[in-house]
Structure 1
């Protein structure tokens, strides 16, 4: 495998490879072999399976290479990628930027440039890249999506210590804009205790079904030790979202995923031994919109008790 020079962001730029005597044919061959991924004209990166990281690097590459990069900054999903905010159904077909000065937006190639202006109070710099602030980014993403997408980005922004008052004021200043009502409602339900996109999407479906809101991340004491749960209602009903990476995150030193799964089963049995009902669901449950039907009989039973 060939070695290519990278800049501070981990990007391989054509001007650098040519200066070092590495021809375009060498780079193209590495792309064909799958060693490199071409992110934008003149910008490549070492191949990775991490889609989030690839989009972040593409955003950085386009933002620092486009001829209008001095007049616009990263925003929306691209700024969220730089902040490493996980989103629900992110828009990754293009890199999103917003004009600093007043001007119309346009779509050209890999860039979707949104109309400006962006005043200085909403501009920050992360790793040398200018982008919209955390609060402005969250509101922009929320107003461009549906309720679930808005709740997800606000949950992640809360977890990253975004200022709720600033976000509320920004939404209010755009109260006549499309998406303002959705963003306002989602912000009122946002909770940084939600630990993943799947947990936030689960809560969005609970809210839209009119269910009572659960407690998040409560720790129960059991015979096998502390049992931290995703959701619970009145310490009687527990809900657990089983994401694809859940057991990987739960791994202790020296454990295998199977070890973690067995430990989780014991934890669940210990909760049931205390008379607590445990319900689990997966990403597929959310995609198919089946969570409300899964939870409703148990919540109705709880309400009638």
Structure 2
């Protein structure tokens, strides 16, 4: 879960007019590409805007939109997930998603999607009012594609320690809303132990390939009890360890003064140590998540069906993450 830094200062028309600007000067700055228009009457310096990624641009849009909304407006759906620091995969961010606690009046504008539904509790993050993590998971499960919703749902469940009972309660509250059947299928596939977009997508890839679901996050120890390595997935009875080999992962593994090549070499040493203990190791890449290698399914089937002598190592489930603290209050 990432947290982005300060955003570029916003210039609002009524504020710059008070500082002595004219509408003609505002138009000249916009047409001259000195200012970028976020939405009507709201601008940011173009030099600052061009360096922002899609997440930071959405945060900027949130800051531009909220002052024009009623006080009881709550950020929801992907906008709430983004403020929570949740990774998003192929998720539309062209509109700010908000929810109002009323029965009717939902609408879609070029930069805002307003939902109307009961909201009795909100979370406060960075000064924003958000739907609670459990509510956000269910909202995304109803409205996003399965893969996008699982990626975000895994991250929120893991970060905030959301229990199944909380999700079931939010699902019941939303039972008459659009997408509820889809949401049930998504929630059945969530795993808060997942630690990356690639790991969440990996489980769905294995499902599409007709393979059994592995357990997520295991710690391997040698006979003396020394820690050998942590693995993304494992099939304990078959002594099969599976690794999602995302190249960005090696960047996360770098120690001070270490190069990506050093990290790859250390990863090979780790894998050799796992094999020496009697485990089978299967890897796949980002490309396999969309277009699996034809050999991947046969290799996994063969590994799972292969008779194995007892391994010399010990495989334990990794400890769950400590839930992030969160401030909740009634709306």
Shorter-normalised TM-score: what interval?
0.7 to 0.9
Gaps of 5+ in 2: 1-5, 308-331
Bigger Cα displacement from structure 2, 210-219 vs 192-201: 210-219
Q: How many residues align?
A: 290
**Distance change (3 Å), C-alpha of 1:16 and 1:184:** same
Bigger Cα displacement from structure 2, 241-250 vs 172-181: 172-181
- Does the Cα contact within 8 Å between 1:106 and 1:112 map onto a contact in 2? yes
1:85, CA displacement in angstroms?
1.2
Which secondary structure state, in structure 1, belongs to the residue aligned with residue 144 of structure 2? coil
- Does the Cα contact within 8 Å between 1:158 and 1:164 map onto a contact in 2? no
- Does the Cα contact within 8 Å between 1:238 and 1:277 map onto a contact in 2? yes
- Are positions 1:50 and 2:53 aligned together? yes
Larger relative CO (CA 8 A, sep 6+): 1 or 2? Answer: 2
1:98, CA displacement in angstroms?
1.9
1:270 equivalent among 269, 273, 277: 273
**Distance change (3 Å), C-alpha of 1:206 and 1:125:** same
The 5-angstrom pairing of residues 1-305 of structure 1 reads 10-14=8-12, 15-20=14-19, 24=26, 28=30, 32=33, 38-41=37-40, 42-44=42-44, 46-47=48-49, 48-64=51-67, 66=68, 68-70=69-71, 72-114=73-115, 116-121=116-121, 123-161=122-160, 162-221=162-221, 226-234=228-236, 236-288=239-291, 290=292, 294-303=296-305, 305=307
Which secondary structure state, in structure 2, belongs to the residue aligned with residue 218 of structure 1? strand
Report the TM-score when normalising by structure 1: 0.81
1:283, CA displacement in angstroms?
2.1
Gaps of 5+ in 1: 1-7
Report the TM-score when normalising by structure 2: 0.76
**Distance change (3 Å), C-alpha of 1:69 and 1:43:** farther
RMSD: 3.0
